[in-house]
Structure 1
Amino acid sequence: MNVNRPQSRSPRRRPTRAAHRPVWLFDLDNTLHGASRAVFPAINRGMTQYIIDSLGVSRDVANHLRTSYTHRYGAALLGLLRHHAIDPHDFLKVVHTFDDLSAMLHAERGLARILRALPGRKIVLTNGPTGYAHAVLDALGIERIFERVLAIEHMRTRERWRAKPDASMLRKTLRDIGVAFEDAILVEDTRGHLKRYRRLGIQTVWITGHLPAALARGGRPHYVDHRIRSLKSLGRGLRTGQLRGQSRKPPRSFTGTYRHVTD
């Protein structure tokens, strides 16, 4: 006689976590292209002239306001809004409009190929204005590679305008686009921005190839996970494990001020 025995059940498999897909946050100027050659000097001249025309001050005073506001607030615009009555949209448009932008741009050979080869989402995060950022990306032939551009207009809140390296701004920005800190990799030329955001748990990549020699000196600061000269090194960093998709605890403490170039 056959005895019906209960069939043994195969052990239930736990769902596996999807493979990590990093979210790349790319700065624009001096990261995706070399702005120090022509673009930054032109922007600085435009800012100085705008301040002269708007505030009626001398060139020396205008230069001082531009540089001091940039170092203090992360962007000259923020200081001008806090201490003077200017139209922010007019300011951004005037100082970031050029007759022949394409001729002013310098970038790595094979830039589009390098970026496409990187796994995961790609976002531009810049203190520059939206129109300028899209114009640069279009001229470089890489605009379609990025799912979005987060420019200074997107960083503002109801209360005020904000810019990198504002921590609360980045928290809100990443929350709005559904990005966890541990998934983000910030690629940036400005060490102060990397230093401020490393404490949030974001992986940091300092790119130095487009920087003036004086700003690229030194080794790899403790808040920089990976130092590179060119974007080609990003893929190699992933392969060797220097850039990982694992969650990391942020540093226990953060001290110091930040230094900002222009973007």
Structure 2
Amino acid sequence: MAAFAHVDHWVFDLDNTLYSHESRVWPQVNQRITLFLQELFGLDGLSSHALRNYYYHRYGTTLNGLMVEHDVDPDDFLDFAHDVDLSLLEPDPALGVAIAALPGRKLILTNGSVGHARNVAGKLGILEHFEDVFDIVAAGFTPKPERSTYELFLAKHSVDPGRAAMFEDIEKNLIVPSALGMKTVLIIPRTPDPFREAWEQAAIEAGHVHHVTSDLTGFLTPLARN
């Protein structure tokens, strides 16, 4: 694909990007976050969900809100939220082949933890293809879509954004990468995910979304260069 002929830095989000939502990993994380709020504040499920939405929209992540407003230990939160069952996550050898065939470096940029990223990528059988994981801790707990997070990532890994592509399942997280000069690809589910808001999984027509796909492996395969 000519649009990616110059790319030799491949940057991937983790959850709902490197695996399909049908694996039901992310709903478990959602449930664990809600449960964390229930146990911390003695709330019911609906109140915890509402509080989580408040933190997300005001601070970018629930964790950021808890740290700012309640001085919650981030390690405690991340360990609790990512204590999920990965047994439904199947190895994806075809995706591994497609990623391995991409020319240049491959990196994961996630708002989750490095431990969660390694567990998921390991279960998928693709961890060996990635040079490193840049997580929420490395970002100083400032989440995507904040510009400073991308700038920290680019600086730490010496990534030239003009030679990079970003794969992400949340449209607003592609605004800054596009502005920095990266090619952007929005990953959408093949079928609507009832555990996510409609705006989180829509095929967005916007200048900062350069490509849209529901098939990551199929999208990557033609990008291999010999």
Shared fold (TM-score, shorter chain, > 0.5): yes
Q: Who is 2:209 aligned against?
A: 224
Matching of residue 209 in structure 1 with residue 189 in structure 2: yes
Q: Who is 1:163 aligned against?
A: 143
User: Residues 200-225 of structure 1, C-alpha deviation per residue, up to 9 Å, x if partnerless?
Assistant: 22211111135736454445322111
Amino acid in structure 1 at the alignment position of 2:66: L
User: Residues 44-102 of structure 1, C-alpha deviation per residue, up to 9 Å, x if partnerless?
Assistant: 1111111121123333221111122223332211111111131110110011012x41x
Out of 141, 150, 163, which is 2:134 matched to?
150
Amino acid in structure 2 at the alignment position of 1:229: S
Q: Which has the larger radius of gyration?
A: 1
Task: For 1:42 and 1:218, locate their aligned partners in 2 and report how far apart those are by CA, in whole Å.
Answer: 24
Q: Report the secondary structure of 2:220's partner residue.
A: helix
Amino acid in structure 2 at the alignment position of 1:236: P
Unaligned runs of 5+ in 2: none
Q: CA RMSD in A?
A: 2.3
Higher helix share: 2
Q: How many pairs align?
A: 215
Out of 143, 167, 179, which is 1:199 matched to?
179
| Aligned 1:119-130 pairs, distance under 5 A | 119-130=103-114
Out of 155, 167, 191, which is 1:175 matched to?
155
Task: For 1:63 and 1:222, locate their aligned partners in 2 and report how far apart those are by CA, in whole Å.
Answer: 32
Contact 2:185–2:209 (CA<8 Å) still a contact in 1? Answer: yes
Greater Cα shift, 226-235 or 190-199? 226-235
Task: For 2:47 and 2:204, locate their aligned partners in 1 and report how far apart those are by CA, in whole Å.
Answer: 35
User: Residues 145-171 of structure 1, C-alpha deviation per residue, up to 9 Å, x if partnerless?
Assistant: 000011111110xxxx21111101211
Task: For 2:110 and 2:94, locate their aligned partners in 1 and report how far apart those are by CA, in whole Å.
Answer: 22
Amino acid in structure 2 at the alignment position of 1:136: V
Q: Report the secondary structure of 2:184's partner residue.
A: strand
Q: Who is 2:120 aligned against?
A: 136
Q: Report the secondary structure of 1:175's partner residue.
A: helix
Matching of residue 31 in structure 1 with residue 17 in structure 2: yes
Contact 1:21–1:121 (CA<8 Å) still a contact in 2? Answer: no
Task: For 1:22 and 1:112, locate their aligned partners in 2 and report how far apart those are by CA, in whole Å.
Answer: 17
Contact 1:30–1:210 (CA<8 Å) still a contact in 2? Answer: no
User: Residues 18-42 of structure 1, C-alpha deviation per residue, up to 9 Å, x if partnerless?
Assistant: x945201100111100246421221
Contact 1:30–1:211 (CA<8 Å) still a contact in 2? Answer: no
| Aligned 1:1-263 pairs, distance under 5 A | 20-35=6-21, 37-98=23-84, 100-101=85-86, 103-105=87-89, 110-156=94-140, 161-209=141-189, 212=192, 214=198, 215-218=200-203, 220-231=205-216, 232-236=218-222
Task: For 1:21 and 1:221, locate their aligned partners in 2 and report how far apart those are by CA, in whole Å.
Answer: 21
